[in-house]
A and B are shown apart, each in its own frame.
Chain A
Amino acid sequence: MSVIKTENLTYTYSIGTPFEKTAVDNVNLEIEEGALVGIIGHTGSGKSTLIQHFNGLVKPTSGKIYVEGQDIWAKETKLRDIRFKVGLVFQYPEYQIFEETVYKDIAFGPKNMGLPDEEIDRRIKETAELVGLHKENLYKSPFELSGGQKRRVAIAGVMAMEPKVLILDEPTAGLDPKGRDKILGQIKEYHQQKKTTVLLVSHSMEDVAKFADKILVMNKAKLFCYDDTPTVFKRADELANMGLAVPQITRVFNRLKQSGIDIRTDVYTTEFARKTILEYLEKRGGERA
């Protein structure tokens, strides 16, 4: 069952002015429950606008959007409920923290949902652990924490709503390699534990490659493709033409192929690259023998 579905989804802003621009152009999409999706696209490709349609923050100019089969813009639908189902973590989420303690800030979402206190307490403790926050930090002021910790508080705040779909817009923005690996690791664990759908918008194809099962590519407001990771990487040169930075290792293998080596090019992690080389050498060795 698709958890998010769009039909001819289009969004144009500043209609009628000289600044009119279509940010999302006729997107038809079905995202299955439990998928771990990486969303990539050049700046201005429409990916940020697209994800804001999924939780009803932006209303489409035309077309429809269904969450768990429900038309979110139908009269009967309460948008607030949709926002509890589809949790969206914005870029640099640490800048939206406002409560006196970490505990209270994470509680904001669940409180708005009208949950009982014990339930809220359980969720806070669970998500704090998921994102790697120590229990002592729960009762501190969030403003005493480091940038990376604050970000995890913000992510926990959305996870605590136990949404069916968790969308994160560039969760690794501004983090150093260690911080980046940590957060991606925690998100992957969350996905494995909770089996919810996770969408991750990223500029780094390396991150997306390591981490996502499926990749959604936006290009100039249009949906370019939505496929599993290896399939998408087979089209690496098309991605490069769109201005996306294909992983270094993928470029290397593409060039090897161009130079006449009969080797696969859907290689995007170093471990897989080594494996591919070893296999190639074995095969060649076998043929020679």
Chain B
Amino acid sequence: MQEKIITAQNVEFHYDNEYEENAPVKQVLKGVSLDIEKGSFTAILGHNGSGKSTIAKHFNAILLPCGGKVYVEGIDTADEEKLFDIRQHVGMVFQNPDNQIVATIVEEDVAFALENLGVNPDEMRERVDDALKSVGMYEYREHSPHQLSGGQKQRVAIAGIIAMRPDCIVLDEPTAMLDPKGRREVLKTIRRLNRDYGITIVLITHYMDEAAQADRIVVMDGGTIIMDDVPKEVFSNVETMKKIGLDVPQVTELMYLMGEAGLPSDTHIIDENECVEALLKLLK
């Protein structure tokens, strides 16, 4: 049984309406329960407004639940005293690459968390260099941020979190503002961190081709989890996915359409290779 690094129990959440006292509140999370296992790569998939970003923000105590509880490594996120402990266990990377970089030089930004924690300069040097190498940005350590591409900036942001040596990184739509090359770079980096360094990854996204690379996909809609399974199973539910406004891989959709036309098909096919194999069998 794998150790659980994050546990959400029946989390309910709504934003307080600042303008009107007795206005009806919009319930953003309606009882979300979820466990993230150490070393896993989980994707949380959903359209905008499904609650996926909101639950992610509970994982490092940016938001506290209105109902239910969230535990990080056994620590209750509502425990104010343990805030920094929590944030050192679970790091967070956001959507806008620019608005996470605070220093004028890359390596100084990566060191930011360590400077805040009062780490001594020698150890800092080592950890910063290691972090930059693990995301492939070591050669850019003395560059200024505005010289970098979006994908490079996001990798610097990730390095800034890695320097804290967290057990888990939560990435909230990290590729939404990037071009395809940047998206590939960031996904590659994330996969490598999970595979080679054993870092637990929680990826919030609405891109199904990204979610397809995870071990497990949690699909959210209207503040609740409606599916929680491996990619193959999740994407094979083509109709449900489409109904809630999400994409499935083109090959899966093709299988679904073929099934509708009475042709032999398997909607568990989610990647190109399997599709080519299946079609070759059918057409030869």
**Touch between A and B in complex, CB under 8 Å?**
yes
Residues in chain A within 8 A of chain B (CB atoms): 42-43, 147-148, 173-179, 203, 206, 243, 245, 247-249, 251-252, 255-256, 259, 261, 263, 270-271, 273-274, 277-278, 280-281, 284
- B254 to A173, Cβ gap below 8 A? no
Minimum Cβ distance to chain A for residue B216 (Å) = 20
Partner of B250, one of A42, A206, A261, A263: A206
- A274 to B261, Cβ gap below 8 A? yes
Minimum Cβ distance to chain B for residue A202 (Å) = 11
Partner of B257, one of A206, A256, A259, A270: A270
- B251 to A249, Cβ gap below 8 A? yes
By CB atoms of chain B within 10 A, which of A148, A270, A271 has the most? Answer: A270
- B47 to A203, Cβ gap below 8 A? no
CB nearest neighbor in A for B209: A248
Interface Cβ pair total, 8 Å cutoff: 84
CB nearest neighbor in B for A261: B283
Partner of A176, one of B245, B250, B254: B245
By CB atoms of chain B within 10 A, which of A42, A177, A249, A259 has the most? Answer: A177
Minimum Cβ distance to chain A for residue B173 (Å) = 8
Say whether, besides A252-B272, A252-B275, A177 and B206 are in contact (CB < 8 Å).
Answer: yes
Say whether, besides A178-B47, A277-B263, A261 and B180 are in contact (CB < 8 Å).
Answer: no
- Inside 8 A of A245's CB, which chain B residues have their CB? 180
Partner of B280, one of A174, A248, A259: A259
Say whether, besides A203-B180, A255-B276, A263-B283, A247 and B250 are in contact (CB < 8 Å).
Answer: yes
- B249 to A248, Cβ gap below 8 A? yes
List 10 tightest A-B contacts by C-beta distance, closest first: A178-B245, A176-B206, A248-B250, A274-B257, A176-B47, A249-B250, A270-B253, A177-B247, A43-B179, A270-B254
CB nearest neighbor in A for B284: A261
- A256 to B283, Cβ gap below 8 A? yes
Query: Counting CB contacts under 8 A, is B26 at the interface?
Result: no
- Inside 8 A of B280's CB, which chain A residues have their CB? 256, 259, 261
By CB atoms of chain A within 10 A, which of B48, B208, B247, B263 has the most? Answer: B48
Q: How far is the CA of A281 from the CA of B149 in the complex (A)?
A: 47
Say whether, besides A176-B245, A178-B245, A255-B276, A273 and B254 are in contact (CB < 8 Å).
Answer: yes
- A177 to B251, Cβ gap below 8 A? no
Query: Counting CB contacts under 8 A, is B25 at the interface?
Result: no
- B48 to A176, Cβ gap below 8 A? yes
- Inside 8 A of A249's CB, which chain B residues have their CB? 250-251, 254
- Inside 8 A of A179's CB, which chain B residues have their CB? 47-48
- A252 to B247, Cβ gap below 8 A? no
Partner of B245, one of A177, A277, A278, A280: A177
Minimum Cβ distance to chain A for residue B28 (Å) = 14
Q: How far is the CA of A56 from the CA of B218 in the complex (A)?
A: 48
Q: How far is the CA of A173 from the CA of B183 in the complex (A)?
A: 13
- B283 to A42, Cβ gap below 8 A? no
- B272 to A248, Cβ gap below 8 A? yes
Q: How far is the CA of A243 from the CA of B249 in the complex (A)?
A: 20
Q: How far is the CA of A144 from the CA of B238 in the complex (A)?
A: 35
- Inside 8 A of A259's CB, which chain B residues have their CB? 276, 280
Chain B residues 230-284 with CB under 8 Å of chain A are 245-247, 249-251, 253-254, 257-258, 261, 263, 272, 275-276, 279-280, 282-284
- Inside 8 A of B246's CB, which chain A residues have their CB? 176-178
Please encode chain B, from 160 to 192, with 1 for each CB lying within 8 Å of some chain A CB and 0 for all others. Answer: 000000000000000011011100000000000
- A281 to B283, Cβ gap below 8 A? yes
Q: How far is the CA of A136 from the CA of B272 in the complex (A)?
A: 46
- B48 to A148, Cβ gap below 8 A? yes
CB nearest neighbor in B for A262: B283
Q: How far is the CA of A206 from the CA of B282 in the complex (A)?
A: 25
Chain B residues 129-146 with CB under 8 Å of chain A are none
Q: How far is the CA of A259 from the CA of B273 in the complex (A)?
A: 13
Say whether, besides A174-B177, A177-B47, A243-B181, A252 and B258 are in contact (CB < 8 Å).
Answer: no
- Inside 8 A of A281's CB, which chain B residues have their CB? 263, 282-283
- A277 to B283, Cβ gap below 8 A? yes
- Inside 8 A of B279's CB, which chain A residues have their CB? 252, 256, 261, 277
- Inside 8 A of B179's CB, which chain A residues have their CB? 43, 203
CB nearest neighbor in A for B177: A174
- Inside 8 A of A278's CB, which chain B residues have their CB? 261, 263
- B283 to A280, Cβ gap below 8 A? yes
- Inside 8 A of A42's CB, which chain B residues have their CB? 181
Minimum Cβ distance to chain A for residue B231 (Å) = 15
- Inside 8 A of A280's CB, which chain B residues have their CB? 283
- Inside 8 A of B180's CB, which chain A residues have their CB? 43, 203, 245
Q: How far is the CA of A174 from the CA of B174 in the complex (A)?
A: 11
Minimum Cβ distance to chain A for residue B17 (Å) = 13
- Inside 8 A of B181's CB, which chain A residues have their CB? 42-43, 243
Q: How far is the CA of A252 from the CA of B176 in the complex (A)?
A: 26
- A277 to B250, Cβ gap below 8 A? no
- A256 to B245, Cβ gap below 8 A? no
Minimum Cβ distance to chain A for residue B200 (Å) = 25
Chain B residues 4-32 with CB under 8 Å of chain A are none
